[in-house]
Structure 1
């Protein structure tokens, strides 16, 4: 029983059939309910239909009173790294009646958490009757610049969410076990092209990963190393220099929900309402004590986190000087 259970709780070691993928999803949710509590699973996966039904009614009423010309919806891509607070943002933004939210479990737009194609993405946004379409292509964060530059769509926005490396690592390993470690091993062995985790990684990052002893590395150290390499992509791709990309700190959001939600709304152009952040409890993440990890990984993560914080501060200065290109409007 244990071997069968571990087979589905731990990350897959190769391609999966549709039945295997479905079985894995069911078993892992049972595992998460046992380890994190059923309430947490219901909240994160939005399994309670009542909030979704209420939101659907509000959105339908909004469409009736705000008819839009076809093809005018603004795409907003929420990206970053798993276990960094993107679900929290999407849940709040779904409360706004002018928004349409497409999480990575949306079968129209995603297949096994990947965007099906840029053509499907374009058609989905063009077909929307809401003012904004929020898409969460977490496993395709490395393609954010491609999404933002798609032809035929209204000028979009990108939101890169990050969380402090230790808290994110604790949450990642608690929910996904050694997934980051296995991905790093594949990247170091030259198999990164077959994984989304290895796509568009510069050779310097691949060489850095390969310089570690990944056979003896702990899952927590690997999760922090993966956090550093993944968030470094923001700079590798030049996304920190784009005016249409905003950095959002989960930790700042958890500490000051209203302030940070208003900041996000001003950037995107969504009308702020208190209900957008009332679900956020002011709290710190899973733990506050630094993890005992490889000192080299610690130095790397500290530097990347410093750069993220500095880039976010620089964005705020630019926005304050130039004024938001999408000013906040009062809720209607």
Structure 2
């Protein structure tokens, strides 16, 4: 590859003009088509208009038969970390006729993958005529509490998605190269507030990042370290103490799509239908050879993953206990 090609395939190192941003998007999609296959790019970016058209027709019919008062749509924010299965969830949820799905490529709501403003977000949700508005602000995951506490909207829900760190790191490096490593270097250099990756990071996390030799760190070690730092925010920002935030494991979802989609639908209030998960190939992502990474990073990632798994299991136990004691679930005397 030429130097020009590499410059646009790899992550940017500074601010970009609109023209540079567009050029990068085009070049990277050509690169992904060459390395991953055109079919994979078409599926992941939902470039085939036929499924979207069918979904739009179903949603229009639903609106006609279920007129809702203005401002009653429930916002649901799907957050976490890139390459963790959020596209898979959003694609399935878009099959439900009562939902409106807003991904990061929605220019009305997002600018370069970030929410344009709180006012734009509020206006988007208030204007919806669907029962639920699913928004995927991955780069704004650290602002989940701000979104959930917005005044003037129906009480919302948050869905924090995570994936086993090695599988996510492989996917991240394959798709985005050294992006996580470059972000960590900026955070260590004190430029974290200029990047979404560094927003609201506790000082302890910044010190931890600075304790590593980032000049010699491999992209895979950096991807796993970034995974740990990013997912620790779920606990550090108090999302684990909120009843309106659900943890969703990509690995559990891929292993048993129907059970996990029903779990998600119960939490949000969406009616479950088999077509919501029929696009997911049932598979187990564990069992591959572990990445050769820094032992300190391995220990940190293992600890964070175990903590996420325990928190998700605790959520299920609380849900089961609540169902057992709710009047609708009690057996007749």
User: TM tier, shorter chain?
Assistant: over 0.9
Contact 1:170/1:286 (8 A) holds in 2? no
The alignment status of 1:222 with 2:227, answered yes or no, reads no
Contact 1:100 1:134 in 2 (8 A): yes
TM-score with structure 2 setting the length: 0.96
Matched residue, 1:330: none
* Contact 1:171–1:286, Cα closer than 8 Å, also in 2: no
| Counterpart in the other structure of 1:198 | 198
Question: Is 1:61 matched up with 2:55?
Answer: no
Aligned to 1:130: 130
Q: 2:331 corresponds to which residue?
A: none
Match of 1:89 in 2: 89
Q: Does structure 2 conserve the Cα–Cα contact (< 8 Å) formed by 1:166 and 1:224? A: yes
Partner of 2:273: 273
Task: Establish whether residue 173 from structure 1 lines up as the match of residue 173 from structure 2.
Answer: yes
Contact 1:8 1:27 (C-alpha < 8 Å) held by counterparts:
yes
SS of 2:54 mapped into structure 1: helix
- Residue number in structure 2 paired with 1:2: 2
Instruction: Trace 1:1-332 onto structure 2 (pairs within 5 A).
Output: 2-285=2-285, 288-323=288-323
1:286 Cα shift?
Answer: 9.2
Counterparts of 2:161 and 2:186 in 1: how far apart (Å)? 25
CA-CA distance at 1:140 after TM superposition: 0.1
Distance in 2, matches of 1:196 and 1:226, equals 13
Change (3 A) 1:74 1:256: same
Q: Which consecutive residues of structure 2, in runs of 5 or more, have no partner in the other structure?
A: 329-333
CA drift of 1:131 comes to 0.0
Deviation track 1:163-184 (CA, whole Å, cap 9, x = no partner) reads 0000000000000000000000
Aligned mates of 1:200, 1:207 — CA distance in 2: 14
| Aligned-partner Cα distance in 2 for 1:321–1:286 | 30
Unaligned regions of 5+ residues in structure 1, if any? 328-332
Instruction: Give, in angstroms, the shift of residue 273 of structure 1.
Output: 0.1
- Report the Cα offset of residue 285 of structure 1: 4.0
Task: Find runs of 4+ consecutive structure 1 residues off by over 6 angstroms.
Answer: none
- Secondary structure at the aligned position of 2:71 is classed as coil
Q: Aligned pairs, how many?
A: 326
Aligned partners of 1:25, 1:225: CA distance in 2, in Å?
26
Shift of the alpha carbon at 1:284?
A: 3.6
> Residue 323 of structure 1: SS of its match in structure 2?
helix
Secondary structure of 1:281 counterpart? coil
Q: CA deviation at 1:323?
A: 3.1
| Matched residue SS, 1:200 | coil
Cα deviation, residue 287, structure 1: 7.3
Contact 1:115 1:121 in 2 (8 A): yes
